[in-house]
A = this chain, B = another copy of it.
Amino acid sequence: MIRAIVLLSGGMDSLVTTAIAAQECEELYFLHFSYGQRTQAKEQWCFSQIAKHYNAQAAKTVDYHWLADIGGSALTDPDIRLDEHREVPNTYVPFRNATMLCAAVAWAEVLDAKSIYIGAVEEDSSGYPDCRDSFFGAMQDLIRQGTVAGDIRVKTPVLHFNKAQIVQRGIALNAPFHYSWSCYFAEDEACGECPSCKLRQKAFLNAGIKDPILYKGQK
Protein backbone atom coordinates (compact mmCIF):
# COMPACT_ATOMS: atom_id res chain seq x y z
CA MET A 1 0.00 0.00 0.00
CA ILE A 2 1.61 3.27 -1.11
CA ARG A 3 0.68 5.87 1.48
CA ALA A 4 1.51 9.57 1.11
CA ILE A 5 0.96 12.90 2.79
CA VAL A 6 0.09 15.85 0.56
CA LEU A 7 0.59 19.46 1.63
CA LEU A 8 -2.45 21.16 0.16
CA SER A 9 -2.94 24.91 0.41
CA GLY A 10 -5.80 25.01 -2.08
CA GLY A 11 -3.82 26.91 -4.72
CA MET A 12 -3.38 25.55 -8.22
CA ASP A 13 0.18 24.30 -7.68
CA SER A 14 -0.81 22.10 -4.75
CA LEU A 15 -4.00 21.01 -6.56
CA VAL A 16 -2.01 19.71 -9.54
CA THR A 17 0.52 18.15 -7.16
CA THR A 18 -2.42 16.33 -5.57
CA ALA A 19 -3.60 15.09 -8.95
CA ILE A 20 -0.13 13.67 -9.60
CA ALA A 21 0.05 12.10 -6.12
CA ALA A 22 -3.34 10.48 -6.73
CA GLN A 23 -1.89 8.76 -9.79
CA GLU A 24 1.21 7.53 -7.98
CA CYS A 25 -0.18 6.51 -4.59
CA GLU A 26 -3.04 4.50 -3.15
CA GLU A 27 -3.70 6.26 0.17
CA LEU A 28 -3.60 10.05 0.49
CA TYR A 29 -3.49 12.01 3.76
CA PHE A 30 -3.93 15.76 3.42
CA LEU A 31 -2.36 18.49 5.50
CA HIS A 32 -3.36 22.16 5.53
CA PHE A 33 -2.04 25.07 7.58
CA SER A 34 -3.98 27.86 9.13
CA TYR A 35 -1.46 30.61 9.89
CA GLY A 36 -3.33 33.86 9.60
CA GLN A 37 -3.08 34.17 5.83
CA ARG A 38 -5.55 36.75 4.53
CA THR A 39 -7.76 34.31 2.61
CA GLN A 40 -7.73 31.46 5.13
CA ALA A 41 -11.49 30.76 5.03
CA LYS A 42 -11.49 30.35 1.26
CA GLU A 43 -8.35 28.21 1.32
CA GLN A 44 -9.89 25.98 3.98
CA TRP A 45 -12.96 25.48 1.80
CA CYS A 46 -10.80 24.60 -1.24
CA PHE A 47 -8.74 22.21 0.91
CA SER A 48 -11.85 20.34 2.07
CA GLN A 49 -13.34 20.09 -1.42
CA ILE A 50 -10.13 18.87 -3.03
CA ALA A 51 -9.44 16.36 -0.22
CA LYS A 52 -12.96 14.97 -0.65
CA HIS A 53 -12.60 14.87 -4.44
CA TYR A 54 -9.46 12.73 -4.07
CA ASN A 55 -10.91 10.34 -1.43
CA ALA A 56 -8.69 11.46 1.44
CA GLN A 57 -7.96 8.88 4.16
CA ALA A 58 -7.74 11.89 6.48
CA ALA A 59 -7.57 15.67 6.10
CA LYS A 60 -5.97 17.62 8.91
CA THR A 61 -5.68 21.37 9.43
CA VAL A 62 -2.77 22.40 11.61
CA ASP A 63 -2.99 25.58 13.68
CA TYR A 64 0.17 27.53 12.81
CA HIS A 65 -0.86 30.96 14.05
CA TRP A 66 2.56 31.41 15.60
CA LEU A 67 3.71 32.16 12.02
CA ALA A 68 1.49 35.27 11.94
CA ASP A 69 2.39 36.03 15.54
CA ILE A 70 6.12 36.34 14.78
CA GLY A 71 5.23 38.64 11.88
CA GLY A 72 7.50 39.73 9.05
CA SER A 73 5.32 38.92 6.04
CA ALA A 74 2.79 40.84 3.97
CA LEU A 75 0.79 37.62 3.68
CA THR A 76 0.01 37.53 7.39
CA ASP A 77 0.32 41.16 8.53
CA PRO A 78 -2.29 43.59 7.15
CA ASP A 79 -0.01 46.50 8.15
CA ILE A 80 2.68 45.39 5.71
CA ARG A 81 1.90 46.55 2.20
CA LEU A 82 2.51 44.01 -0.54
CA ASP A 83 5.80 44.66 -2.31
CA GLU A 84 6.96 42.24 -5.00
CA HIS A 85 9.69 44.52 -6.34
CA ARG A 86 12.49 43.28 -4.13
CA GLU A 87 15.05 40.55 -4.38
CA VAL A 88 12.79 38.51 -2.10
CA PRO A 89 9.15 39.75 -2.18
CA ASN A 90 7.66 40.54 1.21
CA THR A 91 4.98 37.90 0.66
CA TYR A 92 7.75 35.53 1.76
CA VAL A 93 6.80 33.90 5.07
CA PRO A 94 10.05 33.12 6.93
CA PHE A 95 11.09 29.47 6.58
CA ARG A 96 7.47 28.52 5.87
CA ASN A 97 8.12 25.49 3.67
CA ALA A 98 10.59 24.10 6.20
CA THR A 99 8.19 24.43 9.13
CA MET A 100 5.34 22.87 7.14
CA LEU A 101 7.43 20.02 5.79
CA CYS A 102 8.64 19.22 9.30
CA ALA A 103 5.04 18.84 10.51
CA ALA A 104 4.35 16.56 7.55
CA VAL A 105 7.45 14.49 8.37
CA ALA A 106 6.30 14.09 11.98
CA TRP A 107 2.89 12.89 10.79
CA ALA A 108 4.53 10.58 8.24
CA GLU A 109 6.52 8.95 11.05
CA VAL A 110 3.32 8.24 12.95
CA LEU A 111 1.41 6.98 9.88
CA ASP A 112 4.37 5.10 8.42
CA ALA A 113 3.89 7.05 5.18
CA LYS A 114 6.92 7.08 2.92
CA SER A 115 6.20 10.07 0.66
CA ILE A 116 5.37 13.73 1.19
CA TYR A 117 4.15 15.77 -1.76
CA ILE A 118 4.55 19.55 -1.88
CA GLY A 119 3.60 21.87 -4.74
CA ALA A 120 6.59 24.17 -4.63
CA VAL A 121 7.55 25.90 -7.89
CA GLU A 122 11.07 27.23 -8.36
CA GLU A 123 10.76 29.31 -11.51
CA ASP A 124 7.76 31.43 -10.68
CA SER A 125 8.45 31.83 -6.99
CA SER A 126 10.46 34.98 -7.46
CA GLY A 127 13.36 34.32 -5.15
CA TYR A 128 11.85 32.57 -2.15
CA PRO A 129 14.84 30.65 -0.77
CA ASP A 130 12.71 27.72 0.39
CA CYS A 131 11.48 26.89 -3.13
CA ARG A 132 14.85 25.87 -4.54
CA ASP A 133 16.15 22.43 -5.43
CA SER A 134 19.03 22.86 -2.99
CA PHE A 135 16.59 23.52 -0.16
CA PHE A 136 14.71 20.28 -0.84
CA GLY A 137 17.99 18.37 -1.01
CA ALA A 138 18.93 19.71 2.42
CA MET A 139 15.47 18.79 3.75
CA GLN A 140 15.92 15.24 2.46
CA ASP A 141 19.19 15.00 4.35
CA LEU A 142 17.59 16.36 7.52
CA ILE A 143 14.91 13.66 7.33
CA ARG A 144 17.55 10.97 6.87
CA GLN A 145 19.43 12.21 9.94
CA GLY A 146 16.55 13.19 12.19
CA THR A 147 13.86 10.51 11.92
CA VAL A 148 13.62 6.93 13.10
CA ALA A 149 12.39 5.71 9.71
CA GLY A 150 14.96 7.70 7.73
CA ASP A 151 13.45 6.81 4.35
CA ILE A 152 10.62 9.32 3.96
CA ARG A 153 10.91 11.07 0.57
CA VAL A 154 9.89 14.63 -0.24
CA LYS A 155 8.33 14.79 -3.73
CA THR A 156 8.15 18.04 -5.68
CA PRO A 157 6.57 17.03 -9.00
CA VAL A 158 5.92 20.59 -10.26
CA LEU A 159 9.13 22.21 -8.98
CA HIS A 160 10.54 22.80 -12.47
CA PHE A 161 7.25 23.46 -14.26
CA ASN A 162 6.19 26.91 -15.27
CA LYS A 163 2.65 27.96 -14.43
CA ALA A 164 1.27 27.21 -17.91
CA GLN A 165 2.70 23.68 -17.73
CA ILE A 166 1.04 23.26 -14.34
CA VAL A 167 -2.33 24.21 -15.84
CA GLN A 168 -1.80 21.85 -18.77
CA ARG A 169 -0.84 18.94 -16.55
CA GLY A 170 -3.83 19.63 -14.30
CA ILE A 171 -6.21 19.66 -17.29
CA ALA A 172 -4.70 16.39 -18.55
CA LEU A 173 -5.37 14.84 -15.14
CA ASN A 174 -8.89 16.27 -14.78
CA ALA A 175 -7.90 18.33 -11.73
CA PRO A 176 -10.89 20.29 -10.36
CA PHE A 177 -9.53 23.83 -10.89
CA HIS A 178 -12.88 25.27 -9.79
CA TYR A 179 -11.93 24.18 -6.25
CA SER A 180 -8.59 26.05 -6.31
CA TRP A 181 -7.85 29.62 -5.22
CA SER A 182 -4.90 31.94 -5.82
CA CYS A 183 -5.97 35.51 -4.98
CA TYR A 184 -4.03 37.05 -2.07
CA PHE A 185 -6.89 39.33 -0.99
CA ALA A 186 -10.45 38.43 -1.96
CA GLU A 187 -12.46 35.36 -1.03
CA ASP A 188 -15.62 35.70 -3.15
CA GLU A 189 -14.41 36.97 -6.53
CA ALA A 190 -10.67 36.93 -7.29
CA CYS A 191 -9.33 40.51 -7.56
CA GLY A 192 -7.45 39.88 -10.81
CA GLU A 193 -4.86 42.46 -9.81
CA CYS A 194 -2.59 41.00 -7.12
CA PRO A 195 0.62 39.28 -8.26
CA SER A 196 -0.84 35.85 -7.57
CA CYS A 197 -3.99 36.49 -9.66
CA LYS A 198 -1.84 37.85 -12.48
CA LEU A 199 0.40 34.78 -12.50
CA ARG A 200 -2.67 32.54 -12.58
CA GLN A 201 -4.39 34.44 -15.37
CA LYS A 202 -1.24 34.46 -17.47
CA ALA A 203 -0.83 30.72 -16.93
CA PHE A 204 -4.35 29.92 -18.18
CA LEU A 205 -3.90 32.34 -21.08
CA ASN A 206 -0.59 30.72 -22.11
CA ALA A 207 -2.12 27.27 -21.77
CA GLY A 208 -5.05 28.37 -23.95
CA ILE A 209 -7.60 27.26 -21.36
CA LYS A 210 -10.39 29.17 -19.60
CA ASP A 211 -9.96 29.59 -15.85
CA PRO A 212 -13.19 28.31 -14.22
CA ILE A 213 -13.05 30.60 -11.16
CA LEU A 214 -14.82 33.96 -10.98
CA TYR A 215 -12.92 37.24 -11.29
CA LYS A 216 -14.20 40.64 -10.20
CA GLY A 217 -16.32 42.35 -12.85
CA GLN A 218 -16.53 39.15 -14.88
CA LYS A 219 -19.86 37.66 -16.00
Contacts and interface: CB of A to CB of B under 8 A. Distances in A.
Interface stretch (A68-76, A179-187, A204-212): A68-76
Interface string A60-71: 101111110111
Of listed A64, A65, A95, residue having the most chain B CB within 10 A: A95
Interface string A122-157: 000000011010110111011011111010000000
A105 interface: yes
B109 A105 contact: no
Contacts of A62: 66, 69
A192 to B, nearest CB: 29
Interface stretch (A48-56, A96-104, A170-178): A96-104
Interface in A22-71: 60, 62-67, 69-71
B135 A106 contact: no
A-side interface size class = 35 or more
Contacts of A88: 148
B95 A105 contact: yes
A92 interface: yes
Nearest to A130: B146
CB-CB nearest 8 A-B residue pairs:
A72-B110, A94-B109, A94-B106, A95-B106, A99-B102, A62-B66, A138-B142, A130-B146
Given A72-B110, A94-B107, A98-B102, 6 more contacts: A70-B110, A94-B147, A94-B148, A97-B146, A129-B148, A134-B145
23 contacts: A63-B65, A66-B103, A70-B106, A72-B109, A72-B110, A88-B148, A92-B148, A94-B109, A94-B147, A94-B148, A95-B109, A95-B147, A97-B146, A98-B105, A99-B102, A99-B106, A129-B148, A130-B147, A132-B145, A134-B145, A135-B145, A138-B138, A138-B146
